[in-house]
Structure formats: C-alpha cells, structure tokens
Amino acid sequence: MSATHIVILAAGKGTRMNSATPKVLHQAGGLPLIEHVLRAAAAVRPITITLVVGHQAEEVRAALAGRTGLGFALQEPQLGTGHALLQAEPALRGATGTLLLLSGDVPLLRGQTLEALVDAHCRQRSAATVVTARVGNPDGYGRIVRHEGQIAAIVEHKDASPDERRIDEINSGIYAFDLALLFDGLRAIGAANAQREYYLPDLVGIYRQRGLAVHTFALDDEREILGVNSRRELAEVAAIMHKARNEMLMDSGVTLVDPAAVYVGPDVAIGADTIVHPGVYLEGQTTIGRGCEIHSGVRIVDSVIGDKVVINNFCVIVSSRVADGAQVGPFARLRPDTVVGED
C-alpha cells in the first residue's frame, strides 16, 4: 500500500441546521461530528490530514487547536466540492501516494471501511475509486451511471434525466485518488451545471476521457455514509451510534436493564457483570469496574469507579474516584477531586 493522505471537507454553511455552531462541531454520540471522522481516518495511519474550512473557519480551527498533525486549507468563496479539494493542493505539494477524501459531516464511516478502500484502490491501480451504495431513496444524491458494468459518470440529482433519477446506486462523496494525477484533473473541471459550481464528481468523466482507470467500492451498509444536514439527521445518526455502542457493551458482559434509556459515551469503559439501570448517563473518560450496580438517575463524568461499587439513585459524580466495594447515595453529589475509600 502507498502512503496515504487525508483531506476532509468542512467548509459548508450547514444552513439547514439553523445554528450559530458550525455543523461539524455539533455532537452525536458524545463527540463532535468531525471527531468521529478524524478517529475513522486514523485507522489508515495517514501521513497528513488537511481540513478544508470556509464558513466559520475560525471557530472550527479553535475547536481543533489541540490536535497535533492537523493542517487547514481555506475555501473562500465556496464554489463546490472540486474547488474545495483544489484548495488543499498547497498542503500536499510534493506528496505522493493515495489521497482519501472524506466529509466532516459523515460520522458513521468506520476505520475498517477506509482500510479496505485504500487496499482495493491500490490493488486495482486506480486513478480514482468512488465509494458507492445502493439506497431505497436516492433523491438528492449523485447517481452512478455505468457503461458495460463500469462507472462512466456521476450525475448530480439536479442535473439528472428521469431515467438517471431511477438509478439507485449513489455517490457517497468519499473517494480515493492517485495524488500524482489529481490536481491536474481538478483544474479541468468546469461549472456548466445547475448550481454553477465545480463538481468533484465530474472528475470521473474527465478521467474516463483520458483513459485512466476509475473503479467503485460498494458499501454493504449504506448507513455508513449518512450525512448530517439537519437536526433530524443529527438525531438519526446519534440513535444509530447509541444502539451500536450499547450492543457492544452488552456483548462484553454488561447488563443494560433498558438499553434505549442508557447513555454511554464513546470513551467510557465498563467491566463485566456490571448492571446499569435506566436513566443513567456515563460520560467523558469514565471507567466503571466489574460487578458494579448503577441505579437510575445517575450521571458520572470523567471518574473512576472501582469493582463491586453500588451507586444508588440520583447521584452526580464528576472527576472523582470511588474505590472497590463502596456505596454512594442516594441523592449524593461528588464534586471534582472527591475520593471515596474502599468499602
């Protein structure tokens, strides 16, 4: 496999969110959307990661200021996805290998999927590999147009003919590119479309005309490419994360009395044979030991709970330590730096 570089598009306005907060900083499953994308990207051990920002760029930069190895490129004005990717060229000057293009508002994409994408892209020696999925309702998505089984073009929904709109294979907006060919191809993209923007999918047709290899990478689970453009879609992806997280905990030996009514953050660890009752929130860098019982109405944040601990109803525990065998509450508040001793 070649060296891998990541570009993440995060320049859009997110107008349907109706929010003063940049879309990629809205939280789902206990983390900002962009953090989910960055964690997935880490699976391919990228040489560089470049975030293309535009609308509310300074807020996004400030929120990610503590991250090392993350570069930024500014897209101003926003003239489409092809134009956005072109803004990353200075950050990638002299780089070789594979570029993965991701979206900052697609938080369900898994690291394993990106590893498989890079592997397939390199094995097939593609100039570009497009991640696709078949969906029940393709409205709004770019359609994958094929000729003799091979991808021939991607047609945006607004520009598609009635026959093309009946195609159920859609473009996810996630790609792998050969860096040596990419930016020369991007400069050939025009803006003769309904939006008067530089569509990145037009690169497929350009590559085909040049005789370059373009392949597709089909997803088995189309939920991985769900994007967030509204509060409803934010709630939808959060619910998927919530269900998957709790199923993983139960498979590891944790009892969730009512999984739908328990919230467990992505960085929380819980030992086997612990019982968690409804209405519990476990957040931040929290660790719960083995054989504990956490009763209803409890919120624990950034705390360490030992083995065989009982937390009775309606307790709030923040940045504290509770040793093995202790009992807390009901109706207790443990303020930061509290230590409850053994038994």
Could you give the residue numbers annotated as active site?
Answer: 16
Residue-by-residue DSSP string for 57-111: HHHHHHHTTT-TTEEEEE--S---HHHHHHTTTGGGTT--SEEEEEETT-TT--H
Q: How far apart are CA 158 and CA 151, in angstroms?
A: 19
In angstroms, the CA 215 to CA 60 distance is 33
In this structure, are residues 132 and 217 in contact, taking their beta carbons and an 8 Å threshold?
yes
Buried-state track 58-74, b at ≥16 Cβ within 10 A, e below 16: eebeebbeeeeebebbe
Q: What Cα–Cα distance (Å) separates residue 271 from each residue in 62, 170, 293?
A: 35, 41, 11
CA 259 to chain centre: 23
DSSP string, 229-264: -SHHHHHHHHHHHHHHHHHHHHHTT-EESSGGGEEE
